[in-house]
Amino acid sequence: MGESITITDNRTGETIEIPIDRGGIDARAWGSLLPGIWFDDPSFTATSGADSAITYLDGAKGLLRYRGYPIEQLAGSTSFLEVAHLIVFGELPNRVQLTAWSDEIASEAPIHENFHKRILEGFRDDAHAMGVLVSGIAAMSTFWPDGKDVEDPVCRRTQIIRLIAKMPTLAASAYRRSVGTPYVQPDPDLDYTGNFLSMMFCQRDRPYEVDPVLRDALDLLFVLHADHEQNCSTTAARVVGSAHADPYLTVASAAAALSGPRHGGANEAVVRMLENIGSYDNVDDFIAGVKAGDQKLMGFGHRVYKNYDPRARIVKDTAHRVFEVTGRNPLLDMALKLEEVALADEYFISRNLYPNVDFYSGLIYQSMGFPVEMFTVLFAIGRTPGWLAHWDELLVNESRIARPRQTYSGRPERTVPHTDQR
């Protein structure tokens, strides 16, 4: 046996040797010696919940690979649709496959008119775009009940294409509803990301001129967000998907998890934090407040990366290219100062707190004209291939339903008192 651990049950003196396999040990071996003894790990900090071939992370070294390809190589040399194909099917498409894949996605991009008239119009004018998006994704399950045949790989492929294709259309419709501009359907003559920008910002009386720099930057951001192993929202997808819920309700649950400010909602929280700090001169006081525990430095810290998030570095470089077109985001100087002060401060160094993917991405989105309520929606568009790849993977692997145990800390057995005795 290679690397292993040996555990002893001191109550019986029994021991068992368990191999260490790819950084983990099999809980079933543990259970054979210690039935009914659980690992108490509420936030899964030291728990592997899946055997996955999709994404590899090394938090200490700041490594991120999709299906073996380093993110630094994929970023800037492949399109989001190529990366979506890689993440979902395991390989980058060749030219013929890419054309067929792009055509399939484009053909599925339109959404039913009833989505606009009966679903989106049902929301308050000030409804947050993530609430609209999560509801819209879930509503798709009522339009395509055939998606419930989750054990059929052909059915799964159909739903995967529908969801990747329709996310930008649903997202743009959520935005247009909020600003009162007429809904538009996708333009099949535009590429995936250019089409999204056009659906977002085109006006009735004039077509939207897609700026190639902005389009390339947004496409790159989608690539950077496409998957990230067992993050909170992907874990939600795997848990809900393990119950054999349909892919629309599964992805809706993932998007709901993503909306939290500790997760995908952080890109919006960063910009609101910068706006609340107000000026460059207030940065030192804000950092003092963070160190006193008054607030978090949003966009910093990560459960896995104890080094600079490799995506944050790429986002930061991309920001400069975008600002050459849009003009420099006035919040950038404050963000750079926050990073400079934090990276030199023992509080952050001792806790391995570095900028994550959300620290600079919101500045780009804002400069491109997206309102802050749309930032996490953009994250969701990028992450959809990842959620779906994990959903497909767990079904291919015929995973059992997710059902963790617990450590009970409640009351011992007691007798129900009559109402008059309570």
- Report the interface residues with ligand SDX, using CB under 6 A: 228, 231-232, 262-264, 266, 290, 296-304, 351, 353, 356-358
Rounded to 5 degrees, φ, ψ at 358 are: -90, -10
| Set 128, 225, 302, 390: catalytic member | 302
Dihedral sign computed on CA atoms, order 261, 263, 267, 268: negative
Residue keyed to tokens 């930008």: 168
Alpha carbons 203 and 99: distance in angstroms, whole number: 29
Closer Cβ to ligand SDX, 202 or 287, answer by number:
287
Task: Kindly state the smallest distance separating residue 158's Cβ from ligand SDX, in Å.
Answer: 26
Q: Known catalytic residue: 263?
A: yes
Instruction: In whole angstroms, give the CA distance from residue 89 to residue 101.
Output: 11
Task: Tell me how far, at minimum, the Cβ of 288 lies from ligand SDX, in Å.
Answer: 12
Distance CA 222, CA 380 (A): 9
225 an active-site residue? no
Q: Please, which residue, 298 or 315, has the CB nearer to ligand SDX?
A: 298
CB of 356 to ligand SDX, least distance (A): 4
Q: Are strands 63-66 and 69-70 parallel, antiparallel or unpaired?
A: antiparallel
State the catalytic residue, choosing from 227, 309, 358, 392: 358
Least distance from C-beta 77 to ligand SDX, angstroms? 20
Q: Which is nearer to ligand SDX, 186 or 386 (CB)?
A: 386
Closest-approach residue to ligand SDX (CB): 301
- 285 tagged catalytic: no
- Among 71, 198, 179, smallest CA distance to 120 is for 179
Give the residues across from 78 on adjacent strands: 75
Determine the Cα–Cα distance for residues 104 and 161; give it in Å rounded to an integer.
Answer: 7
To the nearest whole angstrom, how small is the minimum distance from the Cβ of residue 360 to ligand SDX?
A: 11
Q: Which is nearer to ligand SDX, 140 or 290 (CB)?
A: 290
CB 207 within 8 Å of CB 214: no
Question: For residues 65 and 51, what is the distance between their CA atoms, to the nearest angstrom?
Answer: 16
16 beta partners = 7
Q: Which is nearer to ligand SDX, 209 or 284 (CB)?
A: 284
Please list the active-site residues: 263, 302, 358
